[in-house]
Amino acid sequence: MASLKNVGALTLLLLLLLSLTVQTSGKEDASGAGSKCGDPKGGSEEKASALKLKVIAIFSILIASILGISFPILLQGMPLLKPDGKVFVLIKAFASGVILATGYVHVLPDSIESLTSPCLPQAPWSKFPFSTFIAMVAAVLTLMMDSFAMSYYKKHGMSGAECEYGDHIENDQGHSHGPGHGVGVKKLDDESSKLLRYQIIAQVLELGIVVHSVVIGLSMGASENASTIRPLIAALCFHQFFEGMGLGGCILQAEYKARTKAIMVFFFSVTTPLGIALGIGLSKVYSDDSPTALIVVGVLNATSAGLLNYMALVDLLGADFMGPKLQSNMKLQMWAYVAVILGVGGMSVMAIWA
């Protein structure tokens, strides 16, 4: 539960950070009047039309998010959708492709666009590829967090996790009731180690998605261009639904208790609508091309891109395709690749509108 509380705290921190960014950017625009950067866009009719679309977007994206992340969890009782079933493997491969394309085709280009904007000073922003560098560092830090978390919990027995997840972790001293009971170092068997891996993957993946979701929500909420928002609604609904399926599959494999699943579903579902609402409330002072807003959003997007790309390639696709299930079944492996290509292709096409 501590990790989930950290995700919630991070979400609130991001919202506060972006709120402060909005206020700062408003001051910059006031002091920099006459510059094309930060100029208001759209008339009153355009803004009214955009507001209606943003309200529609809040509810549409909320419903799509809930359906997507809940789909694997609610239908886990169906034989076809069991975590060890072939259909589940294909659905997860498709959703992993969506997450991979989100990082490479959507989030990273957005970061590059922000950090190479002509509204930023030439030095240092146009002199060094900050977006790809930050994404690379984020991927390495994700690997470190992944590795250290596994090592720590294997060494110290993850006593807190025992209380929450039940009987998945065993003591290497068996059921001894001697004076050393509960004191010795606990050892995870293969199944417990695999379960712990799934739990870490689910939490780190949700962390990356939450960061990205808040940013894209804020951007849509602050936009006053109805013609831009209209296609974005459909694209983001598609994005949230299938990204939610990928995360929901990870949550299902992690075998969390109902309360923990509900918390993770809640945070995934509300972050984008919450970001949109924040953007609407602060749209009068927010300028998406002010220097402060460009830097903060660009850095957050680059960080999210590195995290999502690592998770998609290493923890989702790499782990599944190099695992015994797909390695022992070439036909299933080929269909899984088809599913990945469809997920990557579908999400890439969405980049035309979003």
**Tens-place pLDDT, residues 230-251:** 888 888 898 889 888 888 888 8
Q: How far apart are CA 141 and CA 131, in angstroms?
A: 15
Query: Do residues 223 and 178 lie in contact, with contact meaning Cβ atoms separated by under 8 Å?
Result: no
Q: Cα-atom radius of gyration of the chain, to the nearest Å?
A: 22
From the list 258, 285, 215, 261, the residue with the least C-alpha distance to 27 is: 285
Rounded Cα distance, 300 and 126, in Å = 18
Looking at residues 3-10, what average pLDDT do you find?
54
Neighbours of 283 (CB within 10 A): 21
Give SS3 for 178: coil
Q: What pLDDT, on the 0 to 100 scale, is given for residue 160?
A: 45
Question: CB of 115 within 8 A of CB of 130?
Answer: yes
List CB contacts of 165: < 8 A, sequence separation 6 or more.
Answer: 195, 199, 255, 256, 257
Say yes or no to pLDDT of 281 above 60: yes
Query: Which tens digit of pLDDT belongs to each residue from 112-125?
Result: 999 999 989 988 99
* Cα gap 273→257, rounded to integer Å: 26
Mean pLDDT, to the nearest integer, of 270-294?
A: 82
Q: What is the pLDDT of residues 157-181, one digit of tens each?
A: 554 444 444 444 444 444 444 444 4
Alpha carbon 236 to its chain's center? 13
With a pLDDT cut of 70, the percent of the chain lying above it is 76
293 alpha-carbon distance from chain centroid: 20
pLDDT at 30 over 60: no
Residue 54 token pair: 């943003």
Tell me what pLDDT residue 184 has.
43
pTM of the full predicted structure?
A: 0.75
Higher pLDDT, 21 or 265: 265
96: nearest Cα among 211, 213, 201, 4: 201
Q: For position 166, what pLDDT does the model report?
A: 44
Tokens matching residue 200:
């870490």
Q: Say what the pLDDT of residue 41 is.
A: 53
What pLDDT score does 50 carry?
86
- Residue 6 dihedral angles phi and psi, to the nearest 5°: -65, -40
Note the pLDDT of residue 46. Answer: 73
pLDDT for the residue numbered 105: 92
Which is nearest to 308 in space by CA: 229, 232, 215?
Answer: 215
pLDDT, average across residues 203-228: 82
The answer to whether residues 134 and 302 touch, using CB atoms and an 8 Å cutoff, is: yes
